[in-house]
Amino acid sequence: MRKRNSGKDKLTTVALHVALAAGLFFAAFPIYWMLSSSFKSNTEIFALPPTILPKAFTLEAYAAILGDPVKLRFFFNSYFVAGAVTVLTVLIALLAAYGFSRFNFRGKGILNTLIISTQTIPPITLLIPFFGLVVSYGIFDTYVALILTYLVFTLPYAILLMTGYLNTLPRDLDEAVAVDGGTSWTALWRVIVPISLPGIVATSVYTFLLCWNEFLFALTLTKSTSMRTVPIGIQLLMGQHAFEWNQMMAMSVLGSLPLLLIYLVAQRFFLAGMTAGSVK
């Protein structure tokens, strides 16, 4: 019986590894193809049969992206908008979450229900109303339009995420601050914020990634080239008569690097925040 079970376990293990390898290939090959194509000439990309490795390694696509002030502007716009929305979202969500987590007030249940209900509305259904509001207030094709619009979509989930995290922190911390003569503001900034670093980082990463990757509203609420973001910049490389595939792949690589770096840095902060919170 043991031999039979051992044979079945080995077969299961082999099947699991094969399935994982297939899944890894399925997920990683498009990334490799994007990276490989960014080092090819546009002519080689259209070659048949396609080449797995670049025959003539070239940096012309990266030179075209990094040497063009218009394309670099796309990156600045994405950084600025995503960064501003992240800071505002985390600040507002932290204050709102602290109120929901630590205080009881009239209408609290209704507000919670409204915040949760916003997550059930498909963003595309709000595209035309937002366009009308932005035009009527005279902020079309501005950073303000993008920042305010993105805040509407990032805040509800950020508030829910931060409220759930703060609910896991004992109220004894606030009571200890009150005993020492501190106020709620003191408890929030001196005690709650330092030990909430993992939740704050998670909220920040979610918000930044959502803003960085957003395409539809950035396309609709801006019209000038100087206001376009990276996703729109990639789309603009698809011309009527020519597709700059190598530049599209190069810009995709450059656009993915910040997300990868943020993820790697966030992992460190998750661990550091947990350790600091336990010590403090």
Same domain, residue pair 167 and 223 = yes
Q: Are residues 18 and 140 in the same domain?
A: no
Q: What residue has token string 């460190």?
A: 268
Same domain, 34 and 69: no
Residues 97 and 22 in one domain: no
Domain count, the chain: 2
> Could you read off the pLDDT of 245-276 as tens digits, one per residue?
888 889 989 888 877 887 777 776 655 444 44
157 inside domain: yes
Q: Are residues 244 and 162 in the same domain?
A: yes
Read off the pLDDT of residues 34-48 as tens digits, 9 standing for 90 and up.
888 888 888 888 888
Percent residues over pLDDT 70 in the chain: 91
Q: CATH number of the domain at 164, please.
A: 1.10.3720.10
Note whether 15 and 118 are same-domain residues: no
In a domain, 236, yes or no: yes
140, 13: one domain: no
Q: What is the DSSP letter of 12?
A: H
Q: Does the residue 138 lie in any domain?
A: yes
Residue 240 pLDDT greater than 60, yes or no: no
Based on the fold, state whether residues 31 and 80 are members of the same structural domain: no
Shared domain for 144 and 8, answered yes or no, is no
Helix ranges (DSSP H) in the chain: 2-38, 42-45, 60-66, 69-102, 108-117, 127-136, 143-167, 172-179, 184-186, 193-195, 197-213, 216-220, 230-236, 245-279
Q: Are residues 10 and 81 in the same domain?
A: no
pLDDT at 274: 42
- Residue 175 in this model has a pLDDT that exceeds 90: no
What is the 3 state secondary structure string of 231-243? HHHHHHCECCCCE
259 within a domain of the structure (yes/no): yes
In a domain, 14, yes or no: yes
Give the residue among 84, 226, 74 at the shortest CA–CA distance from 148.
84
What digits encode the pLDDT tens for the residues 71-112? 999 999 999 999 999 999 999 999 999 988 888 888 888 888
Q: Tens digit of pLDDT for each residue in 120-170?
A: 888 888 899 999 999 999 999 999 999 999 999 999 989 988 888 888 888
The pTM (predicted TM-score) of the whole model is 0.83
Is position 160 within any domain?
yes
Q: Which domain holds residue 112?
A: 65-279
In percent, how much of the chain has pLDDT > 90?
Answer: 31
Q: Is residue 199 part of a domain?
A: yes
- pLDDT at position 1: 52
Shared-domain flag, residues 232 and 168 = yes
Cα–Cα dist 196/166, whole Å: 7
Residue 161 and residue 73 share a domain: yes
In a domain, 269, yes or no: yes
